[in-house]
A = this chain, B = another copy of it.
Amino acid sequence: MGLIVQKYGGTSVATLARIKNVADRVIKEYKKGNEIIVVVSAMGDTTDQLIKLIKGISSNPNPREVDMLLTTGEQVSIALLSMAIHDKGFPAISLTGSQVKIQTDDRHNQAEIMKIDNSRLRTELDEGKIVVVAGFQGVNSQDDFTTLGRGGSDTTTVALAAAMKADRCEIYSDVEGIYTTDPRIVPEAHKLEYISYDEMLEMANLGAEVLHPRAVELAKYYNLKLYIASSFNYKPGTIVRGVEEMEKRKNVTGVTRDEDEVKITMQGVPDQPGVAGRLFTALAEHDVNVDMIIQNLEYNNMNDITFTINKENLVRGKKVIHEIASKLGVKKIDIDKNVAKVSIVGAGMISTPGTAAKMFQVLGEEEINIQMITTSDIKVSCLIEKKYAEQAVKAIHQVFELGNAEDVEEKAR
């Protein structure tokens, strides 16, 4: 018995039948004597539909009003879930971000949580109610509704669990847990029983879209264990937790693939001090994150600078790049969308020399050319031609023997 914070994502509440299913799952834990806070996202593609409405009104919508509109999405889900719990004979109450008093800063559409007032939550729990909270939203100091942007509902969930000192924090979606790699590509991929925050951060950043990095960072900060599992069955999921608790691990935990990057090459950049600084500062000022960077000194004191940015920032990025390029007299800008980033992630990597080399070697054996490389303590990433991405993931997954581990589900039996 204890306080459980559960989150159900958009797919898990996409239909009335699924909302009733979530009600059953919540009630199941409630009947065991637990206190329950449930965070829900907007139903299925509701947010997309609302965004479509916005586009019909304005190409440059007022951010405060966008939040006023978007927050209705979760408000619908919490009301319906709460009704469904009532209908099954159990007490529930829904609360918007504003009613909980999830205080955020003023940055509409991408607000950050400042503080959570837990008094209303505590009162409702003390009255024996299941509390259903709208994810993704908060309220600023002027009593205006804000939204948290990407990964908002995950962030709400972890923040609530931290504020309420929850005993368990569970994130349910249509994914059964964290896998060594995408099971759609590599059928031998297996579900991990545990993963560390840092590994999860790398996995999440690299395209395993189960849990938003922002929520992982928050969980890491509060050292809060997260349980990631499916809302459609009761198969065991994956626990995300601190590395200090890790048993001895394989040096590589997972393999990821990211096809959302674009490679940009600026040819003939004059080799003057501060040039790279000017370029990347300008990009940062326009909120364009740069991922991988290579600089080659060529003949005539001219450099080639190659870097990758996310596809979705390409329009904004291109503008900045062309401005800088014309100032510097850069001769040629090449944009290559035909790339994929393949990475290995593992907290054990730092203490295991040769891991990166093993990855490069297997790519070589597969005759896949490596265009760029970046490494960190727990990750090695290679940029390759997009058409080889699946082949690379399969080969790497095999060479690190990730498919041979005993399956979590097997263990659980």
Contact = CB atoms under 8 A, between A and B. Distances in A.
A16 B56 contact: yes
Interface stretch (A1-9, A73-81, A292-300): A73-81
A68 B79 contact: yes
Contacts of A71: 75
A321 interface: no
A189 to B, nearest CB: 37
Interface stretch (A83-91, A332-340, A357-365): A83-91
Interface centre among A19, A75, A83, A99 (most CB of B within 10 A): A83
A204 interface: no
A82 B65 contact: yes
A82 B76 CA distance: 21
B80 A57 contact: yes
A411 B134 CA distance: 55
Contact of A83 (B20, B65, B83): B65
A94 interface: yes
A98 B98 CA distance: 10
Contacts of A98: 98
A66 interface: yes
A65 to B, nearest CB: 5
Nearest to A50: B76
Nearest to A80: B57
A65 B86 contact: yes
Interface residues of A, number: 39
Contact of A60 (B53, B64, B87): B87
Given A80-B69, A83-B62, A93-B64, A20 B57 contact: yes
B62 A82 contact: yes
Interface in A13-67: 16, 19-20, 50, 53-54, 56-62, 64-66
Nearest to A16: B56
Interface in A111-132: 120
A60 B83 CA distance: 9
B76 A57 contact: no
A78 B98 CA distance: 17
A87 B68 contact: no
A82 B53 contact: no
A83 to B, nearest CB: 5
A87 B61 contact: yes
Contacts of A367: none
A34 B387 CA distance: 63
A72 to B, nearest CB: 4
A285 interface: no
A82 B108 CA distance: 15
Interface string A130-159: 000000000000011000000000000000
A224 B62 CA distance: 34
A68 B84 CA distance: 14
* The 5 residue pairs across chains A and B that have the minimum distance between CB atoms: A69-B79, A58-B87, A68-B79, A72-B72, A16-B56
